[in-house]
Amino acid sequence: MKVAMIGCGKLGGPCANEMVTAGHDVVGYDVVKTDIPVFPIKDSIKEAVEGRDLIFVAVPTPHDSLYGGETPTSHLEPKDFDYSIVVEVLTELNKHCTKEQLIVLISTVLPGTVRKHLIQHATNYRFIYNPYLIAMGTVGWDMVNPEMVIIGTENGSLTGDAKILIDFYKTMMQNNPRYEVGTWDEAEAIKIFYNTFISAKIGLVNMIQDVAEKSGNINVDIVTNALAKSTDRIMGPKYMTAGMGDGGACHPRDNIALRHLAKELDLEYDLFDSIMTAREIQAKNLAKRCLANGKKITIVGKAYKPGVPYLNGSYSLLVGYYIEQLGGEVNYYDVNTQDINLREDWSEVYLIGYWEEYVSTIKFPIWATVIDPWRKITHEQHHGEIIHYGNTRLHDKNLYIVPDTIKKGLEERELNLL
């Protein structure tokens, strides 16, 4: 098919590449001039859509920068996403497109947004809402290996435009996904509640971690592994490892936006506020645990997840925020973000923000305490004090007491520093 991708950034660019790989004729347009060798970038929307069958819109629906999740947000007034870029693009498309063309919006919006705020700008062409379930760093793979494909039409019809889009995706999907077709509003809800279910799941798992820390004699992994196997009623195994909190450009902000929706719909409760509050208190608890072992703390892993340079919604930055608020100092070490100073002569504590292969090769200074929420660091890697955050079993905890030989080395270091 002849395809146009309007918005060729972190989402649109890799997705358009997959369409090209599947054999489709793709062109793109973006306000930021990008050099993407696998498909041509046009100079205007008008030029990009001319003669195209399918036109995908992958433009941002941003929040205020204060609502990213890297700093506390639960105290802020709930806000909807900013749809101005989407409205601008849909309005421009309305000038140049016809009923022969199908426009497919893949940007995240709240339930009810298309019907209330967007469709009036899309009168001269056919329209589908089709949000993707993707993660930054694996956008292309996620697009062609989705858990499901979400398609929203005005009345939820499975025929017509929905079938055209399904047939298009079948030419490129690698995992034979299921296709979930509903109204625009249902598709909007599937996407955003999918994300907030993940946030809630992580929040609940990390609550068990907090209980382990405060109650004692609990290894959080024993509890979560048992729950992860309980697939009959409550869950599957994904997101069932306690550690750092939820992050990224989507999940925190989606929960924040759902606070806005709860208020707008007068639901009289705000579960999403509780999820975000729990996320922040869990980060503060972890900051306090770090500060109990020293004031100068290096967080290993600054990005929001392994393998990417992105800081959007970084839980490490949120923990760092609380460390500084509580009187500590923070350094970040992350090869993905080019923060490559471990500061061995400065750091008293190292916090493992995420787990990636390079973390297992780090040689931490013997005098430092390593706090590991993933419970992977062993004395084969670090000969000093290790705290497996969330594991307070007495017989396990004793394994991580600093040996006498190390204590002697620490005393000698202190004397040298004096």
Quick: pLDDT tens for 212-225: 998 899 999 999 99
| pLDDT above 60 (res 401) | no
Question: What's the pLDDT score for residue 398?
Answer: 47
Number of C-alpha atoms within 13 angstroms, CB side, residue 11?
A: 19
Same domain, 123 and 216: no
Same domain, 175 and 207: no
Same domain, 283 and 166: no
Mean pLDDT of 265-284: 86
In the numeric block, the tokens 């925020």 are attached to 321
Residue-wise over 77-99: b if at least 16 C-beta within 10 A, else e? ebbbbebebbeebbebbeebbee
Same domain, 119 and 208: no
Q: How many domains does the chain have?
A: 2
Same domain, 250 and 140: no
Query: What CATH number does residue 204 fall under?
Result: 3.40.50.720
Q: Exposed, middle or buried: residue 203 (CB in 10 Å: 0-12, 13-18, 19+)?
A: buried
Question: What's the pLDDT score for residue 416?
Answer: 47
Same domain, 210 and 180: no
User: Strand 178-183 and strand 296-300: pairing?
Assistant: unpaired
Same domain, 151 and 227: no
At 394, the pLDDT band (50, 70, 90 cuts) reads low
Same domain, 8 and 57: yes
Identify the residue with better confidence: 137 or 401: 137
> What tens digit of pLDDT does each residue of 124-139 get?
999 999 999 998 889 9
Lowest mean pLDDT, pick from 67-76, 198-207, 271-280, 385-394? 67-76
Distance of CA 104 to the CA centre of its chain: 23
> What tens digit of pLDDT does each residue of 45-87 get?
999 999 999 999 999 998 777 877 888 887 888 888 899 999 9
Same domain, 87 and 55: yes
Q: Look at residue 79 and tell me if it is in a domain.
A: yes
Lowest mean pLDDT, pick from 127-141, 176-190, 232-246? 232-246
- State the average pLDDT for the chain: 90
Domain that holds residue 207: 197-417
Of 184, 211, 244, which closes a domain?
A: 184
Q: Where are the alpha helices (DSSP H) in 27-138?
A: 45-49, 84-96, 113
Measured between alpha carbons, how far is 279 from 205 in angstroms, rounded to an integer?
Answer: 11
> What tens digit of pLDDT does each residue of 290-336 get?
999 999 999 999 999 999 999 989 999 999 999 999 999 999 999 99
Q: What is the edge-to-edge ordering of all strands in the sheet holding 386-388?
A: 329-333, 296-300, 349-352, 369-372, 386-388
Same domain, 252 and 350: yes
Same domain, 262 and 169: no
Question: What's the pLDDT score for residue 418?
Answer: 42
Q: Look at residue 192 and tell me if it is in a domain.
A: no
Identify the CA nearest to 171 among candidates 58, 25, 48.
Answer: 25
User: Strand 329-333 and strand 349-352: pairing?
Assistant: unpaired
Mean pLDDT of 370-377: 95
Question: What's the pLDDT score for residue 402?
Answer: 55
pTM of the full structure: 0.79
| pLDDT above 70 (res 378) | yes
